[in-house]
Structure 1
Amino acid sequence: MRYASFASSFSCYVATSPSSSSDIKLLEMTNISNAHAGLPGSGYSYAVYCSGVSGLSNSCSGNFETVVKLSGTSNAHVRQGDQADYPGSNNVCLSLPDKGTISVGYQLNDCTGFDETIASMSAFPTNAHIGDENAYVNKICASASMPRTSSGGKISWLSSIFGGKKSDSDSSAPVVAPSENISTSTENTGLLRRIFSKNKTENNIATKEIITSDLEDTTTGKGIEIASNYDMGEIQERVDDSNSFLANAFLGFGNFLFENPFKSALLALSLGVFLSLLYKIFARKKRI
């Protein structure tokens, strides 16, 4: 089967048994071509299994999409998921937790634009036999993904300050292959961080958009580069500019305050006491 892109590790396959015990059984079929279908538990030799996304299931409730609809629980013909239910509503579905994204489609020849080819049908849109992805030209396609939140939402408040997306609600983003001296640009949907540097190398960037600028800081003559929607937990960077140290120090201190509210309160209290004492000392000296 066609493997999914970096945006999702979602994949499906037809087999007589699952590759892993965690793979979900989507539906069963009597053969890999010219087959009748059945819901899981029908007892047929072949089945469609799917995996690769956290929380994936075959439930038809909550956040789900209907893949195909069956004329019965077993020995069934199939129709597209966007058609009316057969009597009994024996539907085959993919579901994810609430923040997950699922899409299902039906295309001729291939599943361009989707993560995976689920199976194929003898005809569109209804009363069809089913087979694996190679059986027919009428393909059943699907994509499934969950948003990446490896930063655990710890920098969400910083994101809001700079106008970027919150890390715990971003859409799923592809992992960009490591690159050096980034100069290409794609759609910018929110500024999170600014770094002033002429030469910069980024590794392991987990982000959907990167935008750079050829503008120069007129006071220093150094190039200005802007990076958007960074997943701070997956960035390793080298910046040939002392200003980057200040930026990193600020972000690190911000994360410390966010992660340690009690310590932050003590720090604020201590700072207040220190400033109060300092004021009294200077006020006393002024009177003398």
Structure 2
Amino acid sequence: MTIPSFTLNNGVTMPALGFGVYQTPPDETIAAVESALATGYRHIDTAAAYGNEREVGEAVRRSEVGRDDIFLETKIWISDFGYDETLHGFDKSAGKLGVEVIDLLILHQALPGEFDLTVQAYRALEKLYGEGKVRAIGVSNFMPDHLTRLLAETEIVPAVNQIEVHPYFRQSELLAVDTEHGILNQAWSPIGGITFYRDGSHGSTLEDPVIGAIATEHGKTPAQVMLRWHLQQNRQAIPKSVRPARIAENFDIFDFDLTPDRLTAIDALDTGIRGGPQPEDITRETFGVPIPEP
């Protein structure tokens, strides 16, 4: 089947559903990506800091799907922020992926405490874009104030902002700010990884009774309902799995629609509690790790 797509603010199209490999061990990545491509996924999301770009590239080469039909996205880690450092970061990622052009290259974090390095890194992305080495550029985990600072000092509006979004943590203000600027919201942890209830206790979106009831209505799983929720609210979603059955299940979301009241019911589950790290807490001292050469 043909996957629906989003058109980015520079006219490039990207599949509405992607496949992620965060925390997928390198020795499991090739099989997982091969399974995803065989299932029908055409967007693969990785990152320099994941340590599996090389395996993603190998899976793409082994696949019967042509390279031109696969949308590859990766991220520059904070250890490679800075103008020349980010240009070299592209060389490292492209070398590991085994490609000359990366479809979407983004900055992995805002690095607010050293934002001058972030700006220089983004200017390097602009150069790569101008040279045709990347088809689109963007950011990840940027909050509204980070975007304001970036837009004031650079030329190209990011095509995407990849952020934590799931029913228990919706980030409504940030979603609205991105949309206002023509930036596509891209959801990592789209079905909830580390999730919390309003009282701070751990919970699971997969066991939420509201989502479960909606899933039963449609003869779908809670994960499928959540992915559909993202797409109908014009967000690109990037689920991950290493299990072929789950990979296929997450892809089977294009044959039903959620009514407006069901979408609203899922919105109402928002706890406002982040599962991942606070963007303001990201520093090179705490999170910096060297990114190896190809």
The answer to whether TM tops 0.5 is no
Q: Relative to total residues, which structure has the larger strand share, 1 or 2? A: 1
TM-score, normalization by structure 2: 0.22
Q: Work out which structure has the larger RCO, using CA pairs closer than 8 Å and 6 or more positions apart in sequence.
A: 2
Q: Relative to total residues, which structure has the larger helix share, 1 or 2? A: 2
TM-score, normalization by structure 1: 0.23
